[in-house]
Chains A and B, each alone.
Chain A
Amino acid sequence: MKVLVCISHVPDTTSKINFTADNSAFDKNGVQFVINPYDEFGLTRAVWFKEKQGAQITVLNVGRAETEPTLRKALAIGADAAIRVDADPSDSFYVAQQIAAVAKEGAYDLIIAGRESIDYNGGQVPGMVASILNFPFVNACVGMEVSDNEASLIREIDGGKEKVKASLPLVIGGQKGLVEEKDLRIPNMRGIMQARSKSLDVRAPQEIAAKTSTGSFTKPAPKSAVKMIDADNVAELVRLLHEEAKVI
């Protein structure tokens, strides 16, 4: 089975987010970048396929050279090869078209992307890739087994879960549940050494026009000061929620 795992290069979850002085872009200064957490669950699930039933894993990022340490980390975790499409990921449509082109050329059986990336939270790329390629699509996927070209999957729905079957090739938007938090792997020294000699293929992008343009960035308005209520006077909280906040 050939697996393509799409990797976003995103600020660490603990990052304080700042924008440039003119508010036109995210300020990368002093920010630590990691594999998008939603993608990491999918990557780890792919490594399990490799270990248990055999799979060839390629990781893919659409980005500039700055994302290579993130791809090397994915290689150290257990991917076999990496591809970087050398372009600025201008919007989800642009990125999805680049991924679809790589997927078509490489004839992958399974394309795993995170349900969303924690930077721009679009949640668009995996569904677009599936539609471009006319592959079945399962979003918010929390469980996946594959045998004989057929996948059994579990996806989250409003207020529950749904079990589905789909034939390969297939695209999923993954999240926690594909593997658990405790199953995530920290690359060991051997993995890091091996990753250095694995292939990282840099490709030129397809010519695609983005469909959106980003304007100004803002931060949420700061909360006004908290009103503290005495633990012995809980009735006062109920009164405030009713009369002041008007939420009950």
Chain B
Amino acid sequence: MSVLVYLENWEGQFKKNTWEAALYASKTATMQGTEAIGVVIGDINESAEEAGKYGLSKVLHVNDAALASFDANRYAQAFAHLAQENNASTIIISGTFNGKALAPALSIKHNAALLSNVVDLPTNVNPLTVKRGVFSGKGFNDLSSTETNNIVLFVPNSIPLEEGSGAASVESASFASADEKTVVVESIDRVKGKIPLPEAERVVSGGRGLKGPENWTMVEELAEVLEAGTACSKPVSDMDWRPHSEHVGQTGITIKPNLYIAIGISGAIQHLAGVSASRTIVAINSDAEAPFFKAADYGIVGDAFQVVPKLTEELKKFKAAN
């Protein structure tokens, strides 16, 4: 028996998110009294041996032309094959965009229960039981599998990253491609220099209080000094001040960064649902009655146009001194 984990890479690079998955898998494997094996797909620019620092002793590297671009069905077929070859009953996947597309297709092929939107390590391994987020952050639920084969799809930033020592052995592996109905990728358009929201450890977010898209420069400057992702409230995305991909909240992206700074966002229940899992929340609003202050750890009542540039300045000073 073993645990398989998808070590995703982005244009050949691993990220913190990759190692969180590795650590999640090795901790789950320890609970099950077995070992975790990593799976890397495609060309990589750095060594997968790094996975050893997060408890993996072996990584399988599959470099097959059929997997050159992401397709949920084809990737699911590859993972189902590797799971069978390695006698893996549990598969760990991080909830990235590709991870979320892969997991359901794989659950059918691997004849597995899919436990998704998982926010912590499993609470029990027999039966496999997890804590999952429900009602878009308004609640949690204990979910148990009734199957032997399982897939856990966890929310990025769910467990703290601990770095150990060691190097994983990397072996190449292959899979037999069968006739899957796939999509053909024509082009990829990545926004350069931006931190994708689901994995961002810090997020700076703006609302209607910022009065217009032209005022986002100060949000971006604050985000830059904090190495944070930028986000916005639903009305801001609806009015096209900011792209949809930045909308956090109940019908947008649910995030759980270490630090969430809300600027000029009142804190409607739909918005709070998507961000309340953040470890520390700072609200900056000119209205002392804004509901966000009830959900925040730190609050400043004041004019964002004065407070935000000052905060950026102070953070620059802090960074220079530390």
- The CA of A115 and the CA of B244, in the complex, are separated in Å by 14
A191-231 Cβ-contact flags toward B at 8 Å (1 or 0): 00000000000000000011111111111100110111111
Is A181 an interface residue when CB atoms closer than 8 A count as contact?
A: yes
Shortest B136–chain A CB gap in Å is: 5
Q: Which of B141, B238, B318 contacts A216 (CB 8 A)?
A: B141
Majority secondary structure, B binding face: mixed
* Interface: A137 (CB within 8 A): yes
- Mark the stretch among A47-55, A74-82, A120-128 that contacts chain B: A120-128
B189 near A17: Cβ-Cβ < 8 Å: no
C-alpha gap A174/B307 in the complex (Å): 38
**Given that A128-B104, A212-B113 are known contacts, is A159 also in contact with B251, CB under 8 Å in the complex?**
no
| In the complex, chain A residues 57-99 whose Cβ is within 8 Å of any chain B Cβ | 92-93, 96
Distance from B115 Cβ to chain A, minimum over Cβ atoms (Å): 7
- Known pairs A136-B73, A238-B318, A245-B280; A226 contacts B98 (CB<8 A): no
Chain B min CB distance to A205 (Å): 18
Task: Answer yes or no: B311 CB below 8 A from chain A CBs.
Answer: yes
Query: Are B141 and A245 within 8 A (Cβ)?
Result: no
Given contacts A162-B189, A229-B298, contact A123 B117 (CB under 8 A): yes
Q: Within the assembled complex, what's the spacing in Å between the Cα atoms of A64 and B274?
A: 29
Give Cα distance in the complex from A132 to B107, angstroms.
10
B300 interface neighbour in A135, A214, A216, A234, Cβ under 8 Å: A234
- In contact, B188 and A162 (Cβ under 8 angstroms): yes
Determine whether B76 belongs to the interface, using a CB cutoff of 8 Å to chain A.
Answer: yes
Stretch from B44-52, B191-199, B205-213 forming part of the interface with A? B191-199
What's the least CB distance linking A232 to chain B, in Å?
A: 8
Query: Which single residue of chain B is at the shortest CB-CB distance from A216?
Result: B142
The 0/1 profile, CB within 8 Å of A marked 1, for residues 298-319 of chain B is 1111110011001100110110
- Identify which of A119, A211, A226 contacts B146 (C-beta below 8 A): A211
A44 interface residue (CB < 8 Å to B): no
Report chain B residues within 8 Å CB of A102: none
A233 to chain B, nearest CB (A): 9
Q: Which of B287-304 contact A (CB under 8 A)?
A: 293-303
**Per-position binary interface string of chain A over residues 98-120, scored 1 when its CB falls under 8 Å from any chain B CB and 0 otherwise:** 00000000000000000100111
The reply to whether A176 and B107 contact each other, CB–CB distance below 8 Å, is no
User: Which A residues lie within 8 Å of B183 (CB)?
Assistant: 136-138, 153, 164-166
Chain A residues 122 to 181 lying within 8 A of chain B, measured CB to CB, are 122-128, 130-132, 134-140, 142, 152-153, 155-167, 173, 175-177, 180-181
Docked CA distance A91–B295 (Å): 32
**Docked CA distance A118–B282 (Å):** 25
In the complex, chain B residues 83-131 whose Cβ is within 8 Å of any chain A Cβ = 96-98, 100-109, 112-117, 129
B277 touches A220 (CB 8 A): yes
| Contact present for A14 and B269 (CB under 8 Å) | yes
Residues of A within 8 A of B189 (CB): 160-163
**In the complex, A237 Cα to B282 Cα: how many Å?**
9
> Contact: A157 with B98, CB < 8 Å?
yes
- B185 x A241 contact (CB < 8 A): no
Q: In the complex, A234→B97 CA distance in Å?
A: 36
Take A139-B97, A177-B244, A245-B297 as given contacts and tell me if A38 and B108 are in contact as well, using a CB distance cutoff of 8 Å: no
Cβ-based interface call for B245 (8 A): yes
Instruction: Determine the chain B residues whose CB is within 8 A of the CB of A173 once the complex forms.
Output: 101
B16 an interface residue at 8 Å Cβ cutoff? no
Task: Report how far A202 CA is from B162 CA in the complex, Å.
Answer: 53
B10 adjacent to A158 (CB under 8 Å): yes
Chain A residues with CB under 8 Å of B139's CB are 17, 19, 26, 217-220
Known contacts A127-B72, A160-B191, A181-B238: does B135 contact A119 (CB below 8 Å)?
yes
CA distance A37 to B234 in the complex (A): 13
B266 at the interface (CB under 8 A from A): no
Taking a contact as CB atoms under 8 Å apart, the answer to whether B300 and A163 are in contact is no
A13: Cβ under 8 A from any B Cβ: yes
B215-244 contacts to A, CB under 8 A, are 226, 237-238, 244
A13–B250 CB distance below 8 A: yes
Q: Provide the residues of chain B in CB contact with A156, threshold 8 Å.
A: 97, 245
In the assembled complex, A190 has its CB within 8 A of some CB on chain B: no
Is there contact, CB below 8 Å, between A220 and B103? Answer: no
The CA of A128 and the CA of B108, in the complex, are separated in Å by: 6
The 8 closest A-B pairs by CB, nearest first: A127-B104, A231-B302, A215-B142, A160-B190, A211-B113, A131-B108, A139-B101, A159-B196
A-B contact pairs, 6 of them (CB 8 A): A159-B196, A162-B70, A229-B300, A231-B303, A231-B306, A247-B259
For the A-B complex with A209-B146, A231-B306 known, give 14 more contacts whose Cβ atoms are closer than 8 Å: A121-B116, A121-B133, A121-B134, A122-B117, A123-B100, A127-B102, A130-B104, A130-B181, A163-B189, A176-B251, A219-B140, A229-B298, A238-B315, A241-B259
